[in-house]
């Protein structure tokens, strides 16, 4: 009995009665025709941006791809991230060179004076040297990651530039009684899908 009910539901849902759009009617304009709903004009004035061009612009000058896509508000974010990572790279590189010089002077027994006092041990200088080098290298990786994300963001924005994100996109699903024509002059149950674009 359960199989019969399941098969009946499948047959009712997919009964072969469908409505489709005729291509010959829509050669010059973008429209969406749904049975029982008035013809809706789709806004085709939005031009799709070229993702390759956006990627090239962002690769040459970070933020240029975002400007090409019209997302001007993202440019300060790109430059803030790049500037912060560059600042930390320079800061850690300066400290690394200082601790490296101090460590080299400490292990060189011929020198009598070093840039660090004797209160700071050699192992502490070695630890500081290694940590600042690690932080410098991490800052370099972050610069490369932000640069790569800048290009990826420009490409994704360009690919989705013609995607409709208006507030009035809706889908309404409702049951409907559909008349069948031909030998069987009966009605059948079905579902109506109504997409609203404005």
> What pLDDT digit, counting tens, does each position of 28-57 carry?
444 455 444 444 444 445 577 888 999 999
Beta bridge pairs of residue 173: 193
The verdict on residue 149 lying in a domain is yes
Q: Which of 47-56, 67-76, 91-100, 117-126 has the lowest mean pLDDT?
A: 117-126
Report the distance separating Cα 55 and Cα 75, nearest Å: 14
Q: Annotate 60-84 with DSSP letters as a single string.
A: HSTTHHHHHTT-GGGHHHHHHHHHH
The verdict on residue 11 lying in a domain is no
The verdict on residue 113 lying in a domain is yes
Q: What is the pLDDT of residues 130-153, one digit of tens each?
A: 999 999 999 999 999 999 999 999
The verdict on residue 46 lying in a domain is no
Report the distance separating Cα 12 and Cα 17, nearest Å: 10
The verdict on residue 144 lying in a domain is yes
The two three-digit tokens of residue 52, written as one number: 């390759």
The verdict on residue 99 lying in a domain is yes
What domain range includes position 126?
A: 72-159
Q: How many domains does the chain have?
A: 1
- By C-alpha distance, which of 50, 52, 34, 31 is closest to 42? 31
Mean pLDDT rounded to a whole number for the chain: 77
The verdict on residue 36 lying in a domain is no
Q: What is the mean pLDDT of residues 111-135?
A: 85
The verdict on residue 105 lying in a domain is yes
């Amino acid at each position: 009995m359960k199989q019969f009910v399941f098969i009946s539901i499948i047959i009712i849902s997919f009964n072969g009665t469908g409505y489709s759009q005729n291509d010959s009617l829509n050669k010059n304009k973008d429209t969406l025709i749904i049975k029982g709903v008035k013809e809706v004009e789709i806004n085709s004035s939005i031009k799709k941006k070229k993702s390759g061009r956006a990627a090239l612009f962002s690769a040459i000058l970070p933020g240029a791809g975002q400007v090409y896509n019209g997302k001007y508000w993202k440019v300060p974010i790109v430059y803030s991230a790049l500037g912060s990572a560059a600042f930390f790279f320079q800061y850690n590189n300066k400290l690394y060179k200082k601790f490296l010089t101090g460590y080299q002077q400490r292990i060189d027994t011929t020198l009598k004076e070093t840039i660090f006092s004797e209160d700071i041990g050699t192992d502490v200088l070695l630890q500081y040297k290694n940590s600042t080098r690690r932080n410098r290298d991490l800052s370099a990786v972050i610069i490369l990651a932000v640069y790569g994300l800048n290009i990826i963001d420009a490409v994704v924005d360009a690919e989705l530039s013609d995607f409709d994100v208006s507030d009035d996109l809706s889908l309404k699903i409702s049951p409907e009684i559909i008349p069948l024509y031909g030998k069987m002059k009966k009605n059948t149950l079905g579902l109506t899908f109504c997409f609203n674009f404005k």
